[in-house]
Amino acid sequence: MLKPLGMLNQALTKPVMVELKGNRAYRGILEGYDPHMNLVLKNAEEFVNNEVVRKMDVALVRGDNVIFISP
């Protein structure tokens, strides 16, 4: 079995796509996480309705709003 936090652990230092409620998504390098699924992303791009609307060196994305995370 690959538990959810184990999957996040395997994804460390790799690019992930994070879909949030409200038509927002983030793509970036997964630098860290915690058990609430709060995520630290490096070189993060924010997408709203599939368009890049912002680029950030580092972003902490709150886990509450996450729908899915995919490496």
Going residue by residue from 11 to 50, which x/- string records binding to a copy of itself, judged by CB under 8 A?
A: -x-------xxx-x-x----xxxx--xxxx---x-x----
**Residue closer to a copy of itself, measured from CB, 2 or 51:** 2
62 interacts with a copy of itself by CB under 8 A: yes
Q: Are 27 and 5 in contact (CB under 8 A)?
A: no
Place of tokens 């949030």: 20
Rounded CA gap, 17 and 44, in Å?
10
CB atoms within 10 A of CB 69: 20
Residues that bind a copy of itself (CB under 8 A): 1-8, 12, 20-22, 24, 26, 31-34, 37-40, 44, 46, 56-71
